[in-house]
Chain A
Amino acid sequence: MQQRRTIDQIHTNRVLLNGQLDTPKWWAPTVITLGIIVAIGFFMIGIMVNKGLGVTGLSRPVYWGLFITTFVFWVGISHAGIMISAILRLSQAEWRRPVTRAAELLTVFSLLTALMFPLMHAGRPWRIIYYILPYDFARGIMPNVRSPLIWDPVAISTYLTGSTLFLYIALLPDLGNLRDRTTGWQNALYTILSLGWRGNPRQWKLQTVGGILLSALMLPIFVSVHSIVSWDFAVTPAVEGWHSTIFAPYFVIGAVHSGVSAVVTMMALMRWLWKWEDFIRPEHFDALARLLIVVATGWLAFTFLELIFAVYGLDAPELALRELQIFQWPWNILFITFVITGYIIPVGMWLQKSVRNNIALMFWSSLFVNIGMWLERFLIIVPGLARRTPFVYTWESYRPSGLEWFILFWSLAWVTFLMLLFSRFFPLVPLFEQKESETFSDSIKIGRVKVPAIVREAD
């Protein structure tokens, strides 16, 4: 149980709507800087589409590299939203309330970004839609439904649609609030977007039921998305290091690890940038860190199981791959960094209560996780291709080109850019959730003092 001060609704409104009604000074310069990076990134993508994939560092055995790694990374990050909103909502974890919006937003934007990678990374991106959409019944040529590359867009676009709806439904009361507080074109915009939200009981009921239903619907999708992404690799019997039966749960739990960590990073930033100390509080970090300890440890178990299963067969190419992955320069450095940043440092830190309640330390530890998780994907995808077959004659390393690194960097800037842009027009912390939690809040007696406390999991 955490101590906190009571916040009245007026204060809540004023503070949480400061992004829209009273834009902070740092906002414009940051967004412009990011916008420039984003523009350069799109230009780079343009170069790549125009000149061909020769501008990357990809080669004959290493046909997939940084882009697919980053695709998997962003799909992983996208698992934050549903984890936080749906699962915690269904399990009635009250502390989730202030962070649900941001987490869902992260889901939507990271999915959008993830989808762009397989598109831009195709040899002829302009033909993808043309050939993949099952529009051409006349010639009887349908997409090949046996290919995981068909399952991928199906799963991801379902997830994206669901998440967007989910986000939107939760946004309705706040849109109504904004409509009432703005004038001019903003008012017009919010009027349209709020779909006539008046906050009457029927609307509230529908909104709540819709949220719960969507939560329940989204759960299987959540599990399926990263399972399917993992099957991109797992169904390929030819690639040692990819062809593994534990990939689906392994990828899902890894995604939760990276996604929830990304939420932690984001919460710290929100607290600092918008000065929301009253809303995003140490107990939230504490709760997420506890959750993360469990998730990370489960994920680590899978990591080692995967290695053990692989090596158990004493299959020569598999051994050669693992040898490369773990012991050879520069992969060994990457591997060690991955284990240290993905697990040892953050979990080691989170075991300390003092760290869990220290925002700065939580920020850095969560960043570490995502460096580690990106490396994890890289180490799964690339060494398998670089050194995977008995045809030793074809083994080649991979040196990503500057352009690939830039596009990786661009994707980070792009997601941040979208988030900031969103924050200018919509509240990042749901006002109604915040107020609801105030209503549900309890008070506890410490000595002679009665202090308000958050409602924790039904205890």
Chain B
Amino acid sequence: MTLQREKRKYSWGMVVDVDKCTGCQACVLACQAENNVPLNLQDRFERARVMSWIRVERYWEGEFPDIKARFIPIMCQHCENAPCEPVCPVFATYHNNEGLNVQVYNRCVGTRYCANGCPYIVRFFNYWEPVWPEAFRNHLNPDVTVRSRGIMEKCSFCIQRIRRGVRNAERENRDVVDGEIQTACTQACPTDALVFGNFMDEDSKVSKMKKDDRHYTLLPHLETDPNVVYLAKIDTDKSAGESHG
């Protein structure tokens, strides 16, 4: 059984300040490089099979010249109450004791049911065997499994980095220090729109940011209780109480 939040030592989470995201896509490629996400060849775009554990969605509002573009990075929300988990017939996706929605590639049989269950559309199916030209295999991250075809994958909160960080801390007989563990995307993000940390640590940056008045979660009516918290976009052209976008 998954530990209740209160009983955990670490409960990993992310805070995304939508107001700071510029849409630069640095997080997208950093994640791809870190996690051996397969190359998205041209047909993957044409057939809507792009795999991108984190994606930056761009929404429009209004019409020229009063047009606004809004960027929002979306990755697995690591829901405490994840709709993807109960539907998986083989427990290939489950919740661990640090608040992560974990994907066990080895068990996955590729029903894609979890992907239908995920309201955030952050699960990606390997329709083809990911092929890395011989030379590119040099830069594959040895800490991360290279997936085969027919299975599901998604943002893992860079679990390999979490493991390394926790192990180092344990070896030195201390707790993980806030900021010590960075996911590839938070490490890359130039504006610090993405911040990663431990929600159990009251003094961590994420815990403090979560208290911001602007905090909200995606699709709260589904009660998924995500571990990714967003801070709303600020628009100076908007007045309070007026509806927007």
Contact surface of A with B, Cβ cutoff 8 Å: 51-54, 56-64, 118, 122-125, 127-128, 131-132, 141-144, 146-150, 232, 235-239, 242, 385, 389-394, 396
Contact = CB atoms under 8 A, between A and B. Distances in A.
Which of B116, B148, B150 has the most chain A CB within a 10 Å cutoff?
Answer: B116
Contacts of A142: 91
Contact of B113 (A52, A149, A393): A149
Contacts of B219: 389-390
Contacts, number: 133
Interface stretch (B17-25, B28-36, B82-90, B172-180): B82-90
A393 B49 CA distance: 14
A147 B126 contact: no
Interface residues of B, number: 43
B188 interface: no
Nearest to A147: B89
A123 B111 contact: yes
Given A51-B128, A58-B125, 10 more contacts: A59-B48, A61-B121, A123-B149, A124-B110, A132-B89, A236-B83, A237-B83, A238-B83, A242-B116, A385-B116
A105 B33 CA distance: 55
Which of A54, A143, A146, A396 has the most chain B CB within a 10 Å cutoff?
Answer: A54
Nearest to B107: A131
B87 A63 contact: no
22 contacts: A52-B126, A52-B150, A57-B47, A58-B127, A60-B50, A60-B124, A61-B121, A62-B48, A64-B116, A123-B110, A125-B109, A127-B109, A128-B109, A132-B90, A144-B89, A149-B89, A149-B113, A236-B83, A236-B116, A237-B83, A238-B222, A385-B116
B136 interface: no
Interface of B: 47-50, 55, 57-59, 74, 83, 86-91, 107-113, 115-121, 124-129, 148-152, 219, 222
B58 A63 contact: no
B89 A143 contact: yes
User: Shortest 8 CB-CB distances between A and B: which pairs?
Assistant: A123-B110, A123-B150, A238-B119, A59-B48, A63-B112, A149-B89, A54-B127, A393-B57
B58 A393 contact: yes
A144 B83 contact: no
A6 B129 CA distance: 66
Contacts of A127: 109
A124 B151 contact: yes
A391 B113 contact: no
Contacts of A123: 108-112, 125-126, 149-152
Contacts of B150: 52-53, 122-124
A143 B58 contact: no
Which of A127, A150, A392 has the most chain B CB within a 10 Å cutoff?
Answer: A127
A124 B109 contact: yes
Q: Is the interface of A mostly helix, strand, loop or mixed?
A: loop
Which of A64, A147, A242 has the most chain B CB within a 10 Å cutoff?
Answer: A147
Given A122-B150, A124-B110, A236-B116, A391 B121 contact: yes
A63 B151 CA distance: 12
A236 B116 CA distance: 7
B33 to A, nearest CB: 21
A226 to B, nearest CB: 18
A52 B110 CA distance: 11
Given A124-B109, A237-B119, A144 B86 contact: yes
Contact of A63 (B74, B115, B148): B115
Contacts of B222: 237-238
Contacts of B127: 52-54, 56, 58
Contact of A144 (B88, B117, B118, B121): B88
B117 to A, nearest CB: 5
Contacts of A148: 87
Which of A59, A128, A235, A238 has the most chain B CB within a 10 Å cutoff?
Answer: A238
A62 B112 CA distance: 10
Nearest to A142: B91
B110 A144 contact: no
Given A60-B48, A124-B110, A390-B219, A52 B89 contact: no
A394 B109 contact: no
Given A144-B90, A238-B117, A52 B112 contact: no
A128 to B, nearest CB: 5
A394 B90 contact: no
A118 B47 CA distance: 22
Contacts of B55: 393
Contacts of A237: 83, 119, 222
B49 A389 contact: no
B68 to A, nearest CB: 15
B91 A141 contact: yes
Contact of A238 (B118, B129, B148): B118
B88 A238 contact: no
A63 B123 CA distance: 10
Contacts of B118: 238
Contacts of B87: 146-149, 235-236
A51 to B, nearest CB: 8
Contact of B109 (A56, A64, A131, A146): A131
Contacts of B129: 52
Contacts of A393: 55, 57-59
Contact of B112 (A64, A131, A143, A150): A64
Contact of B49 (A59, A118, A124, A131): A59
B111 to A, nearest CB: 5
A142 to B, nearest CB: 8
